[in-house]
Chain A
Amino acid sequence: KQEVTQIPAALSVPEGENLVLNCSFTDSAIYNLQWFRQDPGKGLTSLLLIQSSQREQTSGRLNASLDKSSGRSTLYIAASQPGDSATYLCAVRIEGSNYKLTFGKGTLLTVNP
């Protein structure tokens, strides 16, 4: 059974700092990995999708990397802003189940002005 772990559970940083969020998964046979952002009481906003054959994806100040063999992904946020404060979730889609996402519990990020 695929398990997804996100460390740390919570992170507080001053504005302007670069930061890294970590995601690990137990079964490396994944189809793709997706990062989401969730504001309190809201739905999920899709950030980045990395296919299993890719090593990284970039969107603006966000960069996600994938090391499939070691079962790890990182989300790098450059020059953090208070508006980045949210819970960040990673989810994997395993091979053979090309539609079901298995989520971690998320990292709660607080960027202080």
Chain B
Amino acid sequence: DTGVSQDPRHKITKRGQNVTFRCDPISEHNRLYWYRQTLGQGPEFLTYFQNEAQLEKSRLLSDRFSAERPKGSFSTLEIQRTEQGDSAMYLCASSRPDSMAFFGQGTRLTVV
């Protein structure tokens, strides 16, 4: 059990570019979540996967955002045509049903 792994840890991109983040959950955790955190705030829910199925997307997730979890293993979060307002920490978490959620170290996105 190596914990939740996220890559990259930091990403600086120009406005209008596309970015993709990767999350590797704890093995055998069938639940995977993405959250976004801005400075001084708690994390906000973005989306949830149970195995490979994306079961809920927050209204925060505009149509420029897409997430996938092929084969129910790792997940990717893509942001198209990035905007300065997308600058935040993107956190991935995983869990078993009814148990504690474990978070990764996050990807810090800066849009310049």
A interface residues (Cβ-Cβ under 8 A, vs B): 4, 32, 34, 36, 41-46, 49, 89, 91, 98-106
A46 and B106 within 8 A (CB): no
In the complex, A105 Cα to B4 Cα: how many Å? 23
Q: Given that A4-B42, A43-B91, A104-B42 are contacting pairs, would A36 and B98 also be in contact in the complex, using a CB cutoff of 8 Å? A: no
Q: Would you call B45 and A46 a contact (CB within 8 A)?
A: no
In whole Å, how far is B6's beta carbon from the nearest beta carbon of chain A? 8
Do B42 and A43 touch across chains, with their CB atoms under 8 A apart? no
List 12 additional A-B contacts (Cβ < 8 Å) besides A42-B106, A89-B43, A99-B56: A32-B98, A42-B105, A43-B91, A43-B106, A44-B103, A46-B101, A46-B102, A99-B33, A99-B48, A100-B33, A100-B45, A101-B43
Residues of B within 8 A of A4 (CB): 42
B41 touches A105 (CB 8 A): yes
Taking the complex as formed, is B31 at the interface, i.e. its CB lies under 8 A from any CB of chain A?
yes
Query: Are B56's CB and A41's CB within 8 A?
Result: no
Interface of B is mostly: strand
Minimum CB–CB distance for B72 against chain A, Å: 15
The answer for the CA separation of A110 and B73 in the assembled complex, in Å, is 38
Count A-B pairs with CB separation below 8 Å: 57
Scan B4-38; emit 1 where CB is below 8 A from any A CB, else 0.
10100000000000000000000000010101000
Main secondary structure of the interface of A (DSSP, over half): strand
Shortest beta-carbon distance, A1 to chain B, in Å? 12
A35 to chain B, nearest CB (A): 10
Known pairs A41-B108, A43-B91, A43-B105; A103 contacts B100 (CB<8 A)? no
Q: Which chain B residue shows the least CB distance to A4?
A: B42
A3 to chain B, nearest CB (A): 11
Q: Is the CB of B42 within 8 A of A89?
A: yes
